[in-house]
Structure 1
Amino acid sequence: MPADRSLERLANATLLVPFEAHDAPRWLLEGLADGFAGVCVFHNNIEDAGQITRVNARIAAAADAPLISLDEEGGDVTRIGQRGGSEYPGNAALGAIDDTDLTQAVHYSLAAELHTLGFNLDLAPSVDVNTAADNPVIGTRSFGADPELVARHAMAAVRGLQGAGVAACAKHFPGHGATHQDSHTELPSIDAAPDLLARRELLPFRSAIEAGVRSILTAHIQLPGLGVSAPATLAPEIVTGLLRDELGFDGMVITDALDMHGVSGDIGVPEAAVRALAAGCDLLCLGRFAYADEVAAVRAAVVAAVHEGRLSGERLEEAAARTADVRAWTAGQASTPATGAVGIGLDGARRAVRVTGELERLHAPFVLEVDAPAGIAVGEVPWGLSPWFPQTVRLDAEKADVADLLASASGRDLVVVVRDAHRYPTTRAFVDRVCQARPDVVVVEMGLPVWRPDSRAHISTYGAARVNGQSAAEVLGSPTAASVR
């Protein structure tokens, strides 16, 4: 058995840690020098491009090729676009277009930008097959509900990201798309037979593996159809048996954030970390708020588990070796010139827009936006049409005075903007009332277009990124949309 000091360094080599603010704290830099595998950057760490580039340079200098990662999916889930919205369409928009060359090009451009900012690991793409319309955590993060479509775009996204020198991470294994719960707050379950899982959930992961994806991230979900009651992240049958042995993946397995209730709510993060390593995971994503003391507690739990015989030293060495392999790969990637994010992102978003019904040119439209709660994975990212229609009114569907709003819109074209209206009964009721009073209303859906009201025209953007909003504004005839680049 390795000595305690060696064990601590091995444990450190499995840790992907967050940090508190806009600069790298001393404890983080010292931990990197002492073997931390890397960091996970969240929106609270990013002020602007210059600041995060400087911080990432400090992190990179603190160790030998540490992993510098973030969740940058484009579309609704963005860290570099948290303040203003992403300049890239998300997966749902790309799936609606179904042009794999575009998907690869978008992800290449995204990775080139990330590489310039100092990132070398992107916790993307999401390759979940979103078959549950009311899925609260995936939705527009998925390329779609067709496994073959998702599989071909998974391959394109991986090739795009890694072609520009950023390690990709296919997620959420073995597939989070059929869930009706959010694993941030509870443990979802997918009760599907093995043959269904194989031809639906697993197909995109096979495609990502074929594309040479450097890492795969696990899901905190139950799979009773496979006889597994533990979260997949903690189940050797899933991580080692299914992913390693059956699918043949030999790259780095990353846990989804271990502070999520679906994996650690009943046992705590340190114990979840031990069980994840024992199951076959290599890199422990600790979540957003696990700082110095919490990181030390996880490391201590891992070392203690080796001493107790619950976790073998060989398993820890294997995990550390896999993280080292990916770090070495990132160190060998040359810088790639950015290819024009706004151009390719906006062009893609424009191609994704779908219009049904009769849409005539609007003059000085009165725009109402029905607020929708942001999912935990998305966070508070601005969305909507207000950058192009400054007098836009944002409202709460439960509290809105429909008669008053209709009076304000009298004599003007009326536009109502929603996001995933199919998930919110009060939103649908509000829109129905407006449609009854104003049959000429135009409805813009910036989530999944599952529900369509009886309106004159319906516009689907397949996402709420900034470029999706601009594309809708252009269709609505905003005089400023086409000039905002």
Structure 2
Amino acid sequence: MKHGFAKIKTTFGIGALILILCSCSNASSPGAPSVSPSSPISSPPVTSVPSPSGSSPSETSSSEKPPSSDKDDISRLLESMTLEQKVGQLIIAGIDGTKFDEKMQQLITNQQVGGVILYKDNFSDLEGSVRLVNELKQGNADNPLPLFMSVDQEGGTVSRLPKDFAALPNAMKVGKTGKPELAEEMGGLLSKELRIMGFNMDFAPVLDVNSNPKNPVIGSRSFGTDAKLVADMGVAAMRGLQAGGTIAVVKHFPGHGDTSVDSHLELPTVPKTVEQLEKLEWIPFRAAIDQGADAVMIAHILFPSIDPDSPSSLSKAVITDLLRDRLGYDGVVITDDMTMGAIARNYGIEEAALQSFLAGSDLILVAHGYDTASQVYDKLLKAAQSGVISEARLDASLRRIISLKHQYKLSDDSIPIPTATALPNEEIKQWLSQLQ
């Protein structure tokens, strides 16, 4: 049955699939399609998916107002989904180990998560790593949408893939060339690596301006200390990833470059005003939004002059009032990992996840702990069941998520185990020679 649906979706697209399903559905509501297995979903043409850039602020909250899209198709798909499936799509969760096991299957079956993130400890050799990715996708066969298969692959110290791949340098080394075309090629090479491994989402590039030399977490991950340079290089890298078919998640809004505390450990505080952020930190993010950013990651940083009570990742003032309404961004918003010390040591993770969603986030990243992911899922589900999360608010995020999955034609199809000759190592070496 899975392959039958795959063929229908690939050949006719989701609209035709919905019509076929509607014609044979026994759903109680008229015209509602039955829930289908995920396998690959075909996308409407990219031109039919709204670009997050260029949207003007609305009088109502952008987090409450769903973006215009293939409304009929997405509306029918939403009607076919249970509340449990909708809530699961809001979570990207981490896994333990290098082999597919019962815990991973339970995460996909019980929490029905919208995506998975892999860290370095989840990779073995080339064959074993691709097999794990394939088995995670196969485990998702009964869910209505394919998984976001995500990873942090920036280059430099933040590199997760097996050692079979030639090493890519950090962003600062690329930034020193001052050549955006090299950054765009880097994005393309990152995308090639990830697609060979079966990934479709990269938490990159870093758009933070390295303005504080004592910053313990950004440093060489930034393209540089000049906001215009970071904008030019970062947007080029983003475009390279996108052109290669990989969802690029720019980070870390509103800007992590001026922190002196590592948010993996503690909650940083930055005493900057909106006006100060606009003159430096937001220059790269504005450029990325103008060029069609797929997704924006929100940092765990407290800006007391903007919101004295909540860090950015939990703040409506930051996510909705500033990012969505003031900067006009209407794409997918994802949190940084909610299990980081900035949140875990200062807030309850489950409560923080709910607060973040209500503040305007679409995806909640829970990168460590099956129990934690389950508790976050339960918290969000209860909030949706009780009306704390309204149907309109939930569906607004689902529309963004579904639109992005359709735009990139995500699929749960298995990929072949790559050979050493299939890796882009020679291309990487040739590109590296241009950095000298």
- Asked if Structure 1 and Structure 2 have the same fold, meaning a TM-score greater than 0.5 normalized by the shorter chain, the answer is yes
Give, as a single letter, the amino acid of the residue that structure 1 aligns with 2:171.
Answer: N
1:285 equivalent to 2:368? Answer no
Note the C-alpha offset of 1:330: 2.7
Give, as a single letter, the amino acid of the residue that structure 2 aligns with 1:14.
Answer: L
Partner of 2:409: 331
Partner of 1:66: 147
Partner of 1:155: 235
Given candidates 253, 260, 271, the residue that maps to 2:351 is 271
The aligned runs of 1:393-412 (5 Å cut-off) are none
Partner of 1:305: 383
Given candidates 44, 51, 56, the residue that maps to 2:121 is 44
1:100 equivalent to 2:145? Answer no
1:88 equivalent to 2:168? Answer yes
> Whole-Å Cα distance in 2 between the matches of residues 332 and 55 of structure 1?
17
In the alignment, is the contact (CA less than 8 A) between 2:94 and 2:366 conserved in 1?
A: yes
In the alignment, is the contact (CA less than 8 A) between 1:167 and 1:213 conserved in 2?
A: no
> Whole-Å Cα distance in 2 between the matches of residues 195 and 45 of structure 1?
42
Given candidates 22, 27, 34, the residue that maps to 2:98 is 22
With normalisation by structure 2, the TM-score equals 0.74
Given candidates 183, 186, 193, the residue that maps to 2:263 is 183
Note the C-alpha offset of 1:348: 5.0
Partner of 2:209: 129
Give, as a single letter, the amino acid of the residue that structure 2 aligns with 1:219.
Answer: A
In the alignment, is the contact (CA less than 8 A) between 1:228 and 1:237 conserved in 2?
A: no
2:256 match: secondary structure: coil
In the alignment, is the contact (CA less than 8 A) between 1:104 and 1:157 conserved in 2?
A: yes
In the alignment, is the contact (CA less than 8 A) between 2:271 and 2:305 conserved in 1?
A: yes
Partner of 2:254: 174
Given candidates 84, 90, 99, the residue that maps to 1:8 is 84
2:288 match: secondary structure: helix
In the alignment, is the contact (CA less than 8 A) between 1:65 and 1:330 conserved in 2?
A: no
Note the C-alpha offset of 1:253: 0.7
Note the C-alpha offset of 1:186: 0.9
Deviations 1:359-381 (A, max 9, x none): xxxxxxxxxxxxxxxxxxxxxxx
Deviations 1:156-184 (A, max 9, x none): 01110010001000000111001111111
1:245 equivalent to 2:352? Answer no
> Whole-Å Cα distance in 1 between the matches of residues 165 and 218 of structure 2?
18
With normalisation by structure 1, the TM-score equals 0.67
- The number of aligned residues is 347
> Whole-Å Cα distance in 2 between the matches of residues 49 and 187 of structure 1?
36
For the pair shown, the structure with the greater C-alpha radius of gyration is 1
The aligned runs of 1:367-446 (5 Å cut-off) are none
Partner of 1:55: 132
1:209 equivalent to 2:285? Answer no
Note the C-alpha offset of 1:349: 4.7
Note the C-alpha offset of 1:303: 2.0
> Whole-Å Cα distance in 1 between the matches of residues 282 and 192 of structure 2?
28
> Whole-Å Cα distance in 2 between the matches of residues 92 and 339 of structure 1?
28
Structure 2 residues without counterparts, runs of 5 or longer:
1-77
**Mean Cα deviation higher: 31-40 or 185-194:** 31-40
Q: 1:119 to 1:78 in 2, by over 3 A?
A: same
In the alignment, is the contact (CA less than 8 A) between 1:127 and 1:151 conserved in 2?
A: yes
Note the C-alpha offset of 1:196: 1.7
**Mean Cα deviation higher: 53-62 or 272-281:** 53-62
